[in-house]
A and B are shown apart, each in its own frame.
Chain A
Amino acid sequence: MDRTKLTKTDIASMSKAASLDLNDDRQEILLAIMSDTFGLLDTLKAIKPGETAPAFAFQAKWEKSS
């Protein structure tokens, strides 16, 4: 499935899922941007992370604010 080939209907579906109201003009603008973005993100799919955990910043330890 090639997600870099998008239609305005795809953009509308995605924006509905994000609760982001995009009119026809905005959907048109986002077609090229999302195509490029997914192209970049697809380069990450070549890497199999195995058991690698994400680089989250959360620390459970409580810190006092100064």
Chain B
Amino acid sequence: MSEMLGQSLASAAEQLRDGSLSPVELTRASLERVEQTEGKLNAYVRMSADYAMTAARQAEDEIKSGRYLGEMHGIPVAIKDLYDIAGLPTTCSSEVRHDHVAQHDSACVARLKTAGAIVIGKTHTHEFAYGISTPTTGNPWNPDYIPGGSSGGSGATVASRGCFMAMGSDTGGSIRIPAAVCGIVGLKPTYGRVSRAGVASLSWSLDHVGPLTRTVRDAAISLKWLAGYDPRDPGSANEPVGDYLSALDAGVKGLRIGVPQNFFFDHVDPQIEAATRKAIEHYESLGASIVEVNLPYADQIMGVEFGLCLPEASAYHQQMLRERADLYGEDVRAVLEAGELIPAVDYIQALRVRQMMKQAWSELYSKIDAMIAPSVVAPATRRGQENIDWGNGHEEPIKSAFVRLSAPANVTGLPSVAVPCGFSTEGLPLSFQVIGRPFDEAGILRIAQAYESAHDWHTRAPDL
């Protein structure tokens, strides 16, 4: 692997800015790296090599002539194949959409292109983002294991150094789950912080979009270019965009970090629990105060998540399910059919309980600045594995197990960032998440940075 790919986005951006690195060299190296790893990972639906090299040459000319646009200029990135890119198919990794060609760039793609980023290809998603395993794709740390989902292709390519940032979406954890099991950073911003215009929907009430990156600073840089109000997205928040970088290294002294006493540590792999608790100790050693908290409405979190997601997803797919049912994968088809059978009053009850949860979490956060919890219940599982065996006869389907710890931030809409925090005895990544206040992405990134800057997990690359 070329050395220039082993650095962070921030570091590459510095070199591109001062001219010591060319966007053409960097993009060529990315494309070669993807070619090298695709046989094992199958992270991409399609590559856009010709487009990428043309864009890279343009970026090189612009930078050389003094028209440097900013940190994303000349940086190779990948886009989850839920996002529209004008002139390209948006397949959502499904046969159902094999003939769907986008007319316009999605909002995020447009922003990234305006920032000068180089789109090298479209990554696999679990079909229509409706799952956590992305069965097409392998985990870079061991391709016999899942890369997580639904943004599994994005997680795999960033972790394997195929590009510096990849876009994902997160309805029940689909940015943070692949980030966690691929050993990278995954940022789910506050609901409405980043425009979803031009992104195929799974559940309008729960969909978030955001970046997967190698480092916390890279996530902050990415968010800087992605965040902003967009009236084309009905869920878009007309909130001022924060400064995600200037206080990134401010540390955590004096911050109150909540540690949940219920829900987040129930049925969690002991290695993940141990790594998360070690991270909490680290924060305490840095001067943060640790506050024990109890999640309100813990027993209702999954009910709200699926009570919203199932009917909304089925509503989106209503016509396609009747016209092209046989083209869906069986797992997705079954839940889409199920969503159609849920009474409206159940859906509305979920919306009402969600509102009550929002109020209760607001009161919870009067005592804390952020919460630390494991990102996922277990390291990556084997491809094809259906259940996690917790012992004592208790098995849990992985498709709900992996959503369990990420659902709270989807249901509450709060920002959450997944941070790598070690490796299991099997060599698979471990991860914790930082959950913050609405629109306090700067706060959670600062907390994440305080951990990352004292550890080197983010510098380790899979041996591919």
* Interface of chain B, main secondary structure: helix
B354 touches A30 (CB 8 A): no
A40-B306, A47-B297 known; A55 vs B354 contact (CB < 8 Å): yes
Q: Please encode chain B, from 239 to 270, with 1 for each CB lying within 8 Å of some chain A CB and 0 for all others.
A: 00000000000000000000000000000000
- The interface residues of chain B lying within 8 Å CB-to-CB of A58 are 234
| B318 to A: closest C-beta gap in Å | 9
Q: Cβ of B456 < 8 Å from any Cβ of A?
A: no
- The interface residues of chain A lying within 8 Å CB-to-CB of B351 are 54-56
- The interface residues of chain B lying within 8 Å CB-to-CB of A64 are 231
Q: Cβ of B235 < 8 Å from any Cβ of A?
A: yes
Choose among B302, B334, B354, B358 the residue that contacts A40 (Cβ–Cβ < 8 A). Answer: B302
Stretch at the interface among B5-13, B123-131, B154-162, B337-345: B337-345
A44-B304, A45-B349 known; A55 vs B342 contact (CB < 8 Å): no
Q: Cβ of B414 < 8 Å from any Cβ of A?
A: no
Instruction: Classify chain B: how many residues form its interface, as a range.
Output: 35 or more
Choose among A34, A44, A52, A56 the residue that contacts B341 (Cβ–Cβ < 8 A). Answer: A34
Q: Please encode chain B, from 287 to 315, with 1 for each CB lying within 8 Å of some chain A CB and 0 for all others.
A: 00000000001011011101100100000
Measured CA separation A15–B349 after assembly (Å): 21
A57 touches B334 (CB 8 A): no
B306 touches A37 (CB 8 A): yes
A43 touches B302 (CB 8 A): yes
B307 touches A40 (CB 8 A): yes
| A7 to B: closest C-beta gap in Å | 13
Q: Please encode chain A, from 18 to 32, with 1 for each CB lying within 8 Å of some chain B CB and 0 for all others.
A: 101110001001100
Measured CA separation A43–B302 after assembly (Å): 9
- The interface residues of chain B lying within 8 Å CB-to-CB of A55 are 205, 351-352, 354-355, 358
* Residue on B nearest A6 in the bound complex, by CB: B341
Q: Cβ of A1 < 8 Å from any Cβ of B?
A: no
| B379 to A: closest C-beta gap in Å | 25
A54 touches B337 (CB 8 A): no
Measured CA separation A26–B355 after assembly (Å): 35
Measured CA separation A45–B343 after assembly (Å): 13
- The interface residues of chain A lying within 8 Å CB-to-CB of B205 are 55, 57
Give residues in A with beta carbon < 8 Å to B. 11, 14-15, 18, 20-22, 26, 29-30, 33-34, 37, 40-47, 49, 52-59, 63-66
Give residues in B with beta carbon < 8 Å to A. 204-205, 230-232, 234-235, 297, 299-300, 302-304, 306-307, 310, 321-322, 334-335, 337-338, 340-342, 346, 348-356, 358
